Amino acid sequence: MTQQLPATMSQSLFDSRADAIADAARQLAALGWTPATSSNFSMRVDDEHAAITISGRDKGHLGRDDIMLIDLHGHAVGTTARPSAETALHTQVYRRWPEMTAVLHTHSRTQSVVSRLYAARGAIQLQGWELQKAISGYTSHDSVLEIPVFPNTQHMPDLVAQVDAWLDAGKPLHAYLIDGHGIYTWGRDMAEARRHLEALEFLLECEMDLRRLSS
Ligand SMILES: [Zn+2]
């Protein structure tokens, strides 16, 4: 499948984004966070485009050819490949925050279980954990890091609307869980997005352990 790039986009820029996505995907797959071809990853390429994983590929074996170009409304650009089914949740981040350049979505066992445990409350409040400081803007374990849990749906516009409603209410958002499904988080570069994802996985595991041990 050939990827044609817009005349204004350099091949080396697209290739560097595609390589960064593929590298991250292989590493997260090795941790077991992307079972059965699930999960999707993207990076902003410029003001109007992002690179994203092609639907249905095994995330443990991704290469440059498994990444495609889309516009920020989720349409394929210069390829007949099909982007991830959840592309609208990636482009929403890039449209809302011009400074964000990487979006990661995984389906780890911990993310899946915790999302079900907290779905009825609509959010999980993390407080007292030193590792909250890994989330940009958090400088103390004392502050409350709230991660919403949105109901799952196969109808992406409904999920996009839930995220918009949360943000439009003025609440901070660094990540969200989807019930029985997984997590979305992002960053100003791939390193920040990876740090957020790894910290959140750790924090959710700690919360789950606390519940197990205190019951
Ligand atoms: Zn998913």
Find the 181 Cα to ligand 1 centroid distance in Å: 6
Find the 182 Cα to ligand 1 centroid distance in Å: 6
Rounded CA separation 114/169 (Å): 24
Residue 165 structure tokens = 């409603």
What are the C-alpha distances in Å from 118 to residues 17, 89, 125? 34, 21, 10
- Against a cut of 0.85, is the pTM above it? yes
> Is residue 107 pLDDT above 70, yes or no?
yes
Find the 178 Cα to ligand 1 centroid distance in Å: 8
Find the 10 Cα to ligand 1 centroid distance in Å: 30
**Mean pLDDT taken over the chain:** 94
> Mean of the pLDDT values across residues 114-131?
96
Find the 87 Cα to ligand 1 centroid distance in Å: 10
61 labeled binding residue: no
Find the 154 Cα to ligand 1 centroid distance in Å: 10
Q: For residue 128, what pLDDT band results from cuts at 50, 70 and 90?
A: very high
Tell me what pLDDT residue 10 has.
95
Find the 38 Cα to ligand 1 centroid distance in Å: 6
Helix spans in the chain (H) = 11-30, 87-96, 109-118, 156-168, 190-214
Find the 134 Cα to ligand 1 centroid distance in Å: 23
Find the 152 Cα to ligand 1 centroid distance in Å: 10
Find the 150 Cα to ligand 1 centroid distance in Å: 13
**Which position has the higher pLDDT, 85 or 14?**
14
Q: Which residues are within 8 A (CB) of 7 and not within 5 positions of it... i.e. 6 or more apart?
A: none
Q: For residue 1, what pLDDT band results from cuts at 50, 70 and 90?
A: low
Which DSSP state fits 67? Answer: E
Find the 58 Cα to ligand 1 centroid distance in Å: 14
141 labeled binding residue: no
Find the 84 Cα to ligand 1 centroid distance in Å: 9
> Is residue 215 pLDDT above 80, yes or no?
no
> Mean of the pLDDT values across residues 179-206?
97
Q: Look at the chain and count its residues.
A: 215
> Is residue 82 pLDDT above 70, yes or no?
yes
